[in-house]
Structure 1
Amino acid sequence: MIDQVTETGALPFTVQPKSLLDQESRYQPKLCGLRVIESAQDNGLRMTVKLRDYQVRELLSLTRFFGFCAETFSFAVNLLDRFLAVMKIQPKHLSCVGLCCFYIAVKTSEEEKNVPLASDLIRISQNRFTVHDMMRMEKIILEKLNWKVKAPTALHFLRFFHSHIQEKVDTESKKILYIERLEAQLKACHCSFTFTKLKPSLLALSLLALEIEDQHEYEPVPSLKEALDGLQQSLNVKAGDLVCVRELVAKCLVEYSSTKCQKPNGQRLRWMISGRTARQLKHSYYKIAHLPTIPEYAC
């Protein structure tokens, strides 16, 4: 049975943070596994940071292509990082693992009528494996993650914190923090391995802190700063930790394209192909060889 995160919306704010934080620790990627990835050499035999980040960018492209919600992308990244942190996989299997994590997230977050066929996902992503390979991999992922799918992600915390701050400030101040922009910046952070080892709540709080700091340079907004300080205190986040992560976020956003950050979902991508290409894709699908069995060695 798939284990999903407990909803906390009906709880009072004094209780909600503790409830979310208690769940957060159970859905974090294992640090020992992440360190193995971080120390791996780029020789084509082991998972590396570079390969992980490339795969996440592929998932972001698929999310935009289908017009899926931000939750789908965040859940897919969470599943991918957690699985990579407990299983040693070869780079040749990464695309199958990534697409399966994406498919699980789609079926968890999207309306049933919007869930594409697995065969369509394979063809559109131009991967070289079969539906059978994908179904087998999906089962392995779910089993290794103990069927714990819908985790409290950084997006979950970001929306919760943003909503709380908005309730504490006046009408004019509410217009300063745009959740769409914050979510776009979070997507950029997801594409960097740097943030896999951080708690989602700290990453979300750091995004808000950076945005409030940037806005404060142009126009003093003491009410926003006060609301953020109150939130930080209620979460027992050390000032030094917040400053450190805020700087990491700022560096990440500078490196990431500002245009992509601010307008990640401006328009759905369209898969424009000729009839001849479509026939070739359809025929080539049945010629794809099955993937070899994946060794299931835990980290």
Structure 2
Amino acid sequence: MQEQSQPGGKSGQAGKAMVQPKHLGCVGLSCFYLAVKASEEERNVPLATDLIRISQYRFTVSDMMRMEKIILEKLCWKVKAVTAFQFLQLYHSFIHENLSCERRRYLNFERLETQLKACHCRIMFSKAKPSVLALSILALEMEEQKLLELTEALEFLQLHSKISNRELTFWKELVLKCLTEYSSSKCSKPNVQKLKWIVSGRTARQLKHSYYRITHLPTIPETTS
């Protein structure tokens, strides 16, 4: 997918469409299903009927297929867009090569990934180009860790990614504000009970004869670093 957003998110307004609240569930599940089909092997892709049952939505498979078509048309059928996470991986790999062995520990990728996840919890960052968001996070971390020897490497990435100083500065400020609030003790933490996906006995029985099985997944650790 081509990156079209500009500082402030004013571009791409012509193709912008409002989604009615009653359709949000269908949009969300359809996007999830498209992502699974684009990234997973076919044998790991669940049936649409199973996803609808587990999610406990009331729309039909036909509704979901129609929504998929609408989403694909909005995306110009380009479902394998490069993400901010992939840019972050590429940038981190390049920057790492320019660090001495003893300094590499100051640029921890897991920490950068956590910061990206925190930004993705804010709707405003959906307006940022993936490349700009990734470079903003990396640049702030380099400043935090005082890795001054990487200034030229960062400028090289910015130049070849065609990111302007104005654009980078704009999103760096928003990322800094987000991460500062996220790491604050005043930040509202999610209610663990609301994050649990509870499947009723009836739903489980409906899925019993399907190849798709409900498994107990390990807890996903959350850090504020």
Alignment TM-score > 0.5, same fold = yes
Aligned residue number for residue 228 of structure 1: 154
Give the match for residue 187 of structure 1: 117
Tell me: CA distance 1:188–1:29, structure 2 relative to 1, closer, same or farther (3 Å).
Answer: farther
Deviations 1:146-165 (A, max 9, x none): 21111122222211111111
Say if 1:215 and 1:197 are closer, same or farther in 2 by CA, change over 3 A: same
Equivalent residue for 1:133, pick from 47, 54, 63: 63
Please state how far the C-alpha of 1:247 moved relative to its aligned partner: 1.5
In structure 2, the CA distance between the partners of 1:112 and 1:223, relative to structure 1 (3 Å rule), is farther
Alignment partner of 1:202 out of 109, 132, 138: 132
Report SS of the residue matched to 1:87: coil
The CA deviation at 1:282 is 5.8
More helix by proportion, 1 or 2? 1
Paired letter, 1:250: L
Report the CA distance shift for 1:239/1:140 in structure 2 as closer, same or farther (over 3 A): closer
Aligned Cα RMSD in Å?
A: 3.0
* 1:255 counterpart letter in structure 2: E
Partner of residue 242, structure 1: 168
* 1:31 pairs with one of 12, 32, 35: 12
- Structure 1 match to 2:223: none
2:96 alignment partner in structure 1: 166
Give how far 1:237 is off: 3.2
In structure 2, the partner of 1:142 is: 72
User: Measured at CA, do residues 94 and 257 of structure 1 come closer, stay the same or move farther in structure 2, by a change above 3 Å?
Assistant: farther
Unmatched runs of 5 consecutive residues or more in structure 1: 6-22, 34-84, 260-268, 284-299
CA contact (8 A) 1:24 1:152 kept: no
Amino acid at match of 1:24: E
Conserved 8 A contact 2:53-2:203: no
Compared CA separation, residues 137 and 233, structure 1 to 2 (3 A): closer
Alignment partners' CA distance in 2, 1:164 and 1:106: 29
TM-score (norm 1): 0.56
Amino acid at match of 2:3: E
Q: What is the deviation of 1:88?
A: 3.1
Q: Deviations over 1:153-194 (max 9, x none)?
A: 222221111111112222122222222222222122222222
Q: Does structure 2 conserve the Cα–Cα contact (< 8 Å) formed by 1:31 and 1:197?
A: no
Could you list the per-position Cα deviations for residues 34-73 of structure 1 after superposition, in whole angstroms to 9, with x for gaps in the alignment? xxxxxxxxxxxxxxxxxxxxxxxxxxxxxxxxxxxxxxxx
One-letter identity of the residue aligned with 1:194: M
Asked if the contact 1:173/1:224 (under 8 Å) is kept, the reply is no
2:37 maps to what in 1?
Answer: 107
Cα deviation, 1:10-37, whole Å, max 9, x if unaligned, reads xxxxxxxxxxxxx4349x995316xxxx
Q: CA separation in 1, counterparts of 2:106 and 2:47?
A: 40
- Distance across 2 between alignment mates of 1:181 and 1:114: 29
Distance (whole Å) between structure 2 residues aligned to residue 281 and residue 228 of structure 1: 51
Shift of 1:278: 1.6
Corresponding residue of 1:264:
none
Measured in 2, the distance between the counterparts of 1:200 and 1:108 equals: 18
How many residue pairs match? The answer is 194
Greater Cα shift, 118-127 or 250-259:
250-259
Partners of 1:183 and 1:171 in 2: how far apart? 21
Secondary structure of the residue aligned to 1:148 is: coil
Matched, 1:95 2:76: no
Residue 120 (str. 1) matches residue 120 (str. 2): no
Q: 1:193, 1:121 → 2: CA distance? A: 25
Contact 2:85–2:116 (Cα < 8 Å) also in 1: yes
- Change in Cα spacing, 1:233 to 1:138, as seen in structure 2 (3 Å) is closer
